[in-house]
Amino acid sequence: MWDESPEGMGELAVETKNLVRIYRRKRSSQDSQERQVIALDGVNVEIPYGELFGLLGPNGAGKTTLIKILVTLLLPTSGTARVAGLDVVQQAYQVRELISMVSGGEHSGYGLLTVREQLWMFSQFYGLPTRLALARIDELLKIVGLYEERNRRVSDLSTGMRQKMNLVRGLLSDPLVFFLDEPTVGLDVSAARDIRAYIKEWIREKPGRTILLTTHYMQEAEELCDRVAIIHKGRIIACDSPAALRRSAASGSYFLLTTERLSEDGWLKEVPGVRRVDIRVLDGRTEIRLQVAEDGVIAEVVRALADRERKIYSLTKVEPSLEDVFMQLVGRRMEEADEGR
Amino acid sequence: MRAGKKLTRVFRAMVGRSYPRIIGSNRDKSWLFYDTVLPLLGTVAFVYVYKALGAPERFIGYVIMGGATTAFWMNVMWSMAAQFYWEKQGGNLELYMMMPCGLTPILLGMSLGGLVATLLRAILIVSLGSLLFHVSYTLPQVPLFLLIFTITIIALYGLGVVFASLFLFWGREAWHTVNLFMEPVFLASGFYFPVRALGFWVGLGASIIPLTLGLDAMRQLLFAGMHPALLPVEVELAILGFVAILFILLARHLLQKMEYLARREGRLSLRF
């Protein structure tokens, strides 16, 4: 699609400097007062070519706002953003030649068209000659396992199939920088796994191409991304490889403990050496994720449970996850930090 | 990108977007009933009113032509003016906005697709109406007739793009806004009677809707010497040409404005 090499397009695939985006919204239609929502608050990101970069954060953290600015759909309030060395405000049309975006839960296109027709229509917006477009569509449909459905109407596709078709739509123009906004949201486990596999395969086969992926699934970020930025309340609060981020949270040891349901759990934090306690109730049992100062502390926890005559069903030492990193940085689990909670 | 390559892309994008409209008419045949038989019923009612009043035969021709032209007005309002609103609701608009071809060829494609389907509907209405009521037309100046029709359609679809931009921003419920423009235009544009009957100045005021002058000019050619014209054909053609250019320029300006506002305020892509 694009003729020039990445080398001729700036040193970074994506670069933002002090990016700020403020929304102004009226409280109600009768109210003349406006409220300000700071969606991005001085975001600095540098993504080199060839990287699969993840933006991880709860709902309302600013992930979609950042992606919308980078794909030229939204203007920043202040700061700068560049894609392939091009300014997304001043050179929006040049940027659009080089990028593509697929969002989770996307229902684009027209239900009465077949899969192949729909994809052909989008290929025409990029100016692809029909023969080339159809050959590319068929090739990509085979890769995502949707070739047999090529003549099926879009309205008859399942959610997972539809998202695979959207992924093909995004790849039709062979973008230099590919933006994926929560691409597996709402998909079943199998469809989400397929989508992640295609994403990994695409970037492996296309060296020099870049993916910016937003997600609020920790596992997805860990599995796919070379580097992950954690975004919270419009600010990047950490940015590194998943392994390095986990190491940063690795002071002490982590244990996963399942017990009989606990009626009261405040005492756990009082056990000497316990740094953090995260409790979930599952099927009448209590799952406790513990960060402790050193391995020996767990014996004190077990003893305290025995004193309270609580059965222990399982005890496992676990590696710190991005969830732990997020908890360490924000003080809450990702799902608790979702907008409005 | 070279100009030739750009032009090719504009053409391809236009054809691409017109495809769902054209193929849609072919796949869902219910339009044959809803878009031809139902409008024809309204037309037939006017025909019988004129017959009961003993109006001259040419009035039946007026009504049939008006009925056919109604299809274009409805297409422009429902399938163009309100379309961006629905594209936004369906999630297509933000994808269209980030296409390198821009919004203009996509809108042109929409118009082209709508025009092909509507032309077919209009031909069906004229043919059926003329057959049912034995209306005959004389058309000595076919090229002039086609020229008037073409310029009217260009101006009309230009107006459609203008409305599309306006509805998107100020028409929270495009549905109601479209309805607001239906019946008053049917009346003021003289769809079922010579617009001159409303008086010269009212007719002239209604000329901002391209169909008013377009219909009047075409009726003058079809019923030569019998039609109470608002203005001479040549003058109407000149005004239509001016209106067409005006709407195209205005549409271009509003589209750019709309895109800028959309990017600034996030009103089209985000439901924050």
DSSP code per residue over B34-56: IIIIHHHHHHHHHHHHHHHHT--
pLDDT of residue B270: 46
- Residue A14: pLDDT over 90: yes
Percent above pLDDT 70 for chain A: 93
Residue A334 forms part of a structural domain: no
User: Is B173 touching A (CB cutoff 8 A)?
Assistant: no
Inter-residue contact A164 to A191 (CB < 8 Å): yes
In a domain, A331, yes or no: no
Q: Are A293 and A218 found together in one domain? A: no
Cβ separation B16–A121 shorter than 8 A: yes
Which chain B residues contact residue A112 at CB under 8 A? 20, 23-24, 27-28
Domain shared by A262 and A227, yes or no: no
Q: Where are the domains of chain B?
A: 3-265
CB–CB of B16 and A122 under 8 A? yes
Taking only Cα atoms into account, the Rg of chain A, rounded to an integer number of angstroms, comes to 23
- Domain shared by A231 and A259, yes or no: no
State the pTM of this model: 0.84
Residue B52 and residue B59: Cα distance in Å, rounded?
12
Average pLDDT, chain B: 84
pLDDT of B160 > 50? The answer is: yes
Comparing B83 with A148, the larger pLDDT belongs to A148
CA atoms within 13 A on the CB side of A49: 18
Please tell me whether residues A120 and A158 are part of one structural domain. yes
> Which residue is it, tokens 């009043």?
B53
CA nearest to B58, candidates B67, B47, B69 = B47
Q: Is the pLDDT of residue B135 over 90?
A: no
Tell me whether A122 touches chain B (CB under 8 Å). yes
Tell me which residue range forms the domain holding A280: 251-319
The rounded radius of gyration (Å) of the Cα atoms in chain B is 19
Q: For the segment A132-190, what is each residue's pLDDT rounded down to a tens digit? A: 999 999 999 999 999 999 999 999 999 999 999 999 999 999 999 999 999 998 888 88
Q: How far is A12 from chain B (nearest CA, A)?
A: 21
Same domain? For A71 and A194 the reply is: yes
Q: The tokens of B100 are what?
A: 């390198």
Q: Across the interface, which of B8, B92, B100 has its CB nearest the CB of A93? A: B100
Query: Rounded CA gap, B72 and B149, in Å?
Result: 11
Task: Judge whether A113 and B20 are in contact, CB under 8 Å.
Answer: yes
Q: Which helix (H) or strand (E) holds A275?
A: strand A274-282
Q: Are B110 and B159 in contact (CB under 8 A)?
A: no
User: What is the per-residue pLDDT across B27-49, written as a single tens digit (0 to 9) for each?
Assistant: 877 777 777 777 788 888 888 98
Domain with A106 in it: what CATH number?
Answer: 3.40.50.300
- Identify whether residues A103 and A203 lie together within a single domain: yes
Separation in Å, CA B258 to CA B79, B93, B241, B261? 19, 12, 25, 5
Number of domains comprising chain A: 2
Helix (H/G/I), strand (E/B), else coil: A55: strand
Inform me whether the C-beta atom of residue A160 falls under 8 Å from chain B C-beta atoms: no
Any idea which of A25-29, A54-58, A198-202, A278-282 has the lowest mean pLDDT?
Answer: A25-29
- Window 30-49 of A, Cβ < 8 Å to B: 37, 39
Q: How far is B40 from chain A (nearest CA, A)?
A: 27
Q: Is the dihedral of CA B22, A110, B39, B69 positive or negative?
A: negative
Q: Which helix (H) or strand (E) holds A159?
A: helix A159-171
> Is position A72 within any domain?
yes
Residue A329 within a domain: no
Q: What CATH number should be reported for the domain holding residue A271? A: 3.30.70.120
pLDDT in tens, A76-115: 999 999 999 999 999 999 999 999 999 988 888 888 999 9
Task: Say whether both A186 and A285 belong to one domain.
Answer: no
Q: Is the pLDDT of residue A308 over 70?
A: yes
By the CB < 8 Å criterion, does B37 face chain A?
no
- Any domain includes A338: no
Do A143 and A162 belong together in one domain?
yes
Tokens 């996963």 belong to A256
CB pairs under 8 A between A and B: 97
Question: Which residue from A minimizes the CA distance to B28?
Answer: A112
In this structure, the answer to whether residues A146 and A129 fall within a common structural domain is: yes
Q: Is A123 on the interface with B (CB under 8 A)?
A: yes
Q: Measured between alpha carbons, how far is B112 from B106 in angstroms, rounded to an integer?
A: 10
Could you tell me if residue A340 is inside a domain? no
